[in-house]
Amino acid sequence: GAGVSQSPSNKVTEKGKDVELRCDPISGHTALYWYRQSLGQGLEFLIYFQGNSAPDKSGLPSDRFSAERTGGSVSTLTIQRTQQEDSAVYLCASSLEGRPIDGYTFGSGTRLTVV
């Protein structure tokens, strides 16, 4: 597609439920990133996929968070047993390799509200 696509755009869930957030990166982009933005905060890095390498999971806040990337394209971020502090906008981004000065392209995000 022309840009990074995320779904759903909004998700309201009850505390304790599991949620899945989806990201479709730009075709041909080998790097894929997940960030989240909590109210009044900056963008917090969660996880990063680069080609066939093992993902960098150093930003995941707890073991309730996991992500996978199938076939080097679509990625799913899963949050198990959601808590109210998980409420945030979850942003996915993708980029080409070898051009660190170009930054990356973000999707519009999924706004997650845990009630």
Partner 1 sequence: DQQVKQNSPSLSVQEGRISILNCDYTNSMFDYFLWYKKYPAEGPTFLISISSIKDKNEDGRFTVFLNKSAKHLSLHIVPSQPGDSAVYFCAARNSGNTPLVFGKGTRLSVIA
Which residues of this chain interact with partner 1, rule CB under 8 A? 4, 31, 33, 35, 40-45, 48, 50, 56, 59, 91, 93, 95, 97-98, 100-109
Q: Tell me the closest approach of the beta carbon of residue 47 to partner 1, in angstroms.
A: 9
Residue 44 has φ and ψ, to the nearest 5°, of: -100, 120
Distance of CA 15 to the CA centre of its chain: 20
Nearer to partner 1, 16 or 51 (CB): 51
Nearer to partner 1, 3 or 16 (CB): 3
Q: Tell me the closest approach of the beta carbon of residue 43 to partner 1, in angstroms.
A: 4
Question: Of 99, 113, 95, 94, which Cα lies nearest the Cα of 6?
Answer: 94
Rg (CA), the chain: 13
Regarding beta strands 88-95 and 110-114, do their DSSP bridges make them parallel or antiparallel, or are they unpaired?
Answer: antiparallel
Q: Tell me the closest approach of the beta carbon of residue 39 to partner 1, in angstroms.
A: 11
Nearer to partner 1, 101 or 115 (CB): 101
CA distance 111 to 11: 6
